Amino acid sequence: MSANVTAPPSDGGSPTGLPGDRVMRGTIARWASSTGWVDRDGLPLPKTMLVIGYITVLRRWKEKRPEYISEHPLPDPDVLNKAIPITEWETGLDGKPRRPWALTYVVYLVDLKTGALYTYAHDTYGAMQAYNALEEQIAVMRMLRGEHVFPIVQLEQRPWKSQQYGMLMRPHFQVVDWRYHRRRLRSSPDRWQSRLRLLRQPKLPLLRLRQLRRLRLRLRQHSRSRRSSTSRNR
């Protein structure tokens, strides 16, 4: 059993290019120690997914329907909860009144084979651990490769020790590869130069030779187009 927690909010960004501003997108993804990763119908999720966004929100359940606050900076959930009489709190799975507003960790996932979109959203301590580990890896890799790189993850689980309940399992996003947003990459020759410098570093084993060749080709094409434009202007 995991307890709800409050942690510093983060905003990794909702998926871009999709209509509307809904928090939940596509199919709901769930994780439990008894079932592993499944969709809302209880069917297993694809093992490997592309992460296209992640964000923290406040969520509460009212009459078995979720309500969200997604605009950052998020308000303090404790302040919001104090304004709601305990008699109006819904009953949790443990049979006790459940705090209405809880900080919730949201990750948007895409099946690379079908393009199916999934949303994982939960407010447990295990969800927070999985989210924070993924967020940290993305932040480090974007410092190395630029903003428009996205992780490919395997949906797994990891053990963790609860002071109250002992050893438990939690969800985990295991990063196995990275993918660039190609449209953004084409639009910035300056980024190509910085990427070339990174690709030449021998201590970055995840960077591939074909990416280096691709960037060199784009730089040559860009240079030719500039020379052609200059000659026409003369």
Q: How far is CA 67 from CA 23, 62, 134, 186, 211, in A?
A: 10, 7, 25, 39, 43
Domain boundaries, the chain: 27-181, 188-233
The three-state (H, E, C) secondary structure of 88-125, written as one string: HCCECCCCCECCCCEEEEEEEEECCCCCCEEEEEECEH
Q: Please give the backbone phi and psi of residue 118, each rounded to the nearest 5 degrees, phi first.
A: -130, 150
94-138 confidence digits (pLDDT tens): 788 989 999 999 999 999 999 999 999 999 999 999 999 999 999
Q: How far is CA 32 from CA 36, 38, 39, 110, in A?
A: 5, 8, 11, 20
Q: How far apart are CA 120 and CA 116, in angstroms?
A: 13
Average the pLDDT over each of 6-10, 12-16, 74-78, 148-152 and give the range with the smallest value.
6-10
